[in-house]
């Protein structure tokens, strides 16, 4: 068997019991053997400040190194105020610097948005699609995934129990695996 592709899964929420983190963990469990999904939370990532770039903080360097060592990146995000959360935008700013040396560059990229409401975070996904070109690799276009009504999808231990969502996530992670394989040839 070949070595699986290393994928950094960036969780765009800080909430301990966030649906976003639960979705990222569910994806990691159902990923095919060709992918190793490494779920990364942003709790310890300090704010980006261009003045610090001459001597970047250790947390920035560690985050950038995770990205650089990966074969792909998967963003899993909720929608806040019709956009991505500030913590996720901060991570993108940290990872895409210094200018011209984005740690996302050349990495096949996927986007999974979610919401307990009926729109599934579509605005957050669309904002990522606007932000990432020029600093990332190819973004997977199909299938797009906007997960709706995720509020009742998990049991009290965080396990995904909503069968239609299980099927949707499995289809997506399998398509992402094929996309990553194609992009890394």
Cis-peptide into 72, omega within 30 deg = no
State in words which class domain 9-183 has: alpha beta
Q: For the chain, what are the domain ranges?
A: 9-183
Average pLDDT, the chain: 96
Predicted TM-score (pTM) of the model is: 0.96
pLDDT digits (tens, 9 = 90+) for 131-140: 999 999 999 9
Residue 118 phi, psi dihedral angles, 5° rounding: -80, -10
pLDDT digits (tens, 9 = 90+) for 86-127: 999 999 999 999 999 999 999 999 999 999 888 889 999 999
- By the 8 A CB rule, do 160 and 169 touch? yes
pLDDT digits (tens, 9 = 90+) for 138-158: 999 999 999 998 999 999 999
Pairing outcome for strands 72-78 and 5-11: parallel
Residue-by-residue DSSP string for 100-114: T--TTTT--EEEEEE
Cis-peptide into 98, omega within 30 deg = yes
Distances (CA, A) of 118 to 14, 151, 184: 22, 11, 35
Q: In the β-sheet with 72-78, what is the strand arrangement from edge to edge?
A: 35-40, 5-11, 72-78, 109-114, 146-147
Q: Which residue has the tokens 């935008």?
A: 89
């Amino acid at each position: 068997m070949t070595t699986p592709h290393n994928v950094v899964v960036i969780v765009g929420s800080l909430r301990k019991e966030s649906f976003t983190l639960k979705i990222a963990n569910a994806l990691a469990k159902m990923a095919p053997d060709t992918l190793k999904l490494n779920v990364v939370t942003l709790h310890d990532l300090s704010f980006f400040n261009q003045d610090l770039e001459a001597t970047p903080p250790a947390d920035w360097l560690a985050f950038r190194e995770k990205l650089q060592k990966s074969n792909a990146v998967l963003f899993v995000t909720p929608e806040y105020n019709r956009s991505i959360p500030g913590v996720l935008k901060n991570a993108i700013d940290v990872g895409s610097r210094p200018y011209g040396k984005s740690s996302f560059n050349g990495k096949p990229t996927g986007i999974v948005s979610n919401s307990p409401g009926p729109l599934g975070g579509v605005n957050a996904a669309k904002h990522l699609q606007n932000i990432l070109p020029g600093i990332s690799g190819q973004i997977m276009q199909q299938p797009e995934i906007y997960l709706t009504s995720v509020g009742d999808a998990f049991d009290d231990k965080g396990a995904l129990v909503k069968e239609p969502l299980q099927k949707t996530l499995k289809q997506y992670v399998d398509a992402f695996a094929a996309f990553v394989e194609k992009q890394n040839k």
